[in-house]
Amino acid sequence: MSILGAMKTGVSGLQANAASVANISENIANANTDGFRRSFSQMVTTTTTNPSSMSGVIARDRIDMGTPGSMRPTDSATDLALEGGGFFVVSQRPDEPLASNYMLTRAGSFTPDENGNLKNAAGFYLAGFPTDQNGQTGGIDRTSFGDLSTVNVLERSIQGAPTTTIALSGNLPAQESGLATPGAPFISSAEYFNPLGGAERLELRWLPSMNKNEWTLEISGPDPNQPPYGWVTATFEDSGPNAGSPLTYQGMPNGGGANFAFNDATGQATLTIDNGNTPQVITLDLGAPGEFDGMTQFAGDYTPPQIDRDGSEAGNLARVEIENDGTVFGFFDNGQRMSLFSLPVANVSNPEGLVAGNGNAYKLSRASGAMTLGIAGGGGTASIYAGALEGSNVDIAEELTDLIATQRAYSTNAKVVTTADEMLDETTRIKR
């Protein structure tokens, strides 16, 4: 190798170690950046097939995707961390239509923006698969970004469902019936939901009779100024294996109206409530004769009826919770819970082939290989933990040690260059 070749080799060492220092400085600067992956320079020898020609070194930048960062808890339910390999899918804009604008990140500090879209500190929007009323995503393509939508935790409401059945189960005090002067009625109410998701109530008044084991139930609507729907006379067994259960029923509508009917054999009243263009029909179940799953009459205290009904009122989203499998559940102010989104975990064949971009996010490339959107926690895919953040995988002590070694290597290569320069100077003086 010539003196000039030695100088060029030294220059290549200067350039490679300068690139290494640049990576070290970036790592140290991002030591506290959530989800950051350290980069480093791998030195690669450059030479030709001619053994007498000069050789040198170049720095190949690589990203340490395999080493996880430490996980720390937070107070936010929408802060997310991944345990295992993989990435969150984010986009530059809400509901991004262009696949090229989707990126991958481990930075999970997501908070709702003014529209309720989850956005991390770098300004990227979290993407997930919307789910239907049954919590299913349906037919989706897990090899592309086409079926993803921005996760929103604000603009969601749940439609109310009208009540169709109400079942009562309680106890009437046997000692209160058969008195010469009957006592005051026992009053309770049963809430039901109308077709618009609003809550209304039926008033139930149990009046003890002068006849032993006999009671009269008065059923009224929510408007006290309107007459009752009707009455039901219930007689209870006082002996034998069915003592305390209903023996017979006799229903009577108010004025013979069509808005009340009663089935003596089943113990079910049918109420037709005129609260819309199409009246709402509700079945009120008191319990079949000879059965103990409805109203009973035993000595002791009055037990207000336990109400078992279907239907629900309309509700607005109150808060969200995110499970380890990436399911985003919405909790509504009507007490209902419903799945809203399924957060996928993106995996690529070669994570080190991803192209680093701004905001601690990465773009796909040919070198990164095929991408799939897996289900969190399944099939070796990372689990998602809410209320936690993954820190940087930078080790300050390691970076400072590398910085010392790189600085020494740089100084030594600089010495090679200055020595080669002095040798060339000596060669020039020979001619003189």
Domain positions in the chain are 3-66+393-431, 71-158+316-390, 165-309
Place of tokens 């080190």: 352
User: pLDDT, tens digit, for every residue of 141-194?
Assistant: 999 999 999 999 987 778 888 999 999 999 999 999 999 999 999 999 999 999
Could you tell me if 148 and 180 are in contact, meaning their C-beta atoms sit under 8 angstroms apart? Answer: no
Mean pLDDT of 284-297: 96
Helix/strand/coil for 235: strand
Residue 212 pLDDT class (50, 70, 90 cuts): very high
Q: Which letter does DSSP use for residue 30 in this model? A: T
What is the arithmetic mean of pLDDT over 294-321? 92
pLDDT for 49 beyond 70: no
Confidence label for 222 from pLDDT (cuts 50, 70 and 90): confident
pLDDT at 54 over 70: no
Query: Strand pairing of 165-173 and 295-298?
Result: parallel
The answer on pLDDT for 125 being more than 90 is yes
Identify which has the larger pLDDT, 256 or 205: 205
Cα–Cα distances in angstroms (integers) from residue 302 to residues 176, 177, 187, 294, in the given order: 10, 12, 10, 14
- Which pLDDT belongs to residue 137? 87
Give pLDDT tens digits for 320-355.
999 999 999 999 888 888 899 999 999 999 999 999
Q: Percentage of the chain surpassing pLDDT 70?
A: 97
Dihedral angle of Cα 149, 155, 156, 160, to the nearest 10 degrees:
-150
Contacts of 200 (CB under 8 A, 6+ apart): 191, 192, 193, 194, 221, 222, 275
Q: Is 77's pLDDT higher than 70?
A: yes
Report CA Rg, the chain: 38
Question: What is the homologous superfamily of the domain 165-309 according to CATH?
Answer: Flagellar hook protein FlgE (2.60.98.20)
Answer whether 167's CB lies under 8 Å from 176's CB: no
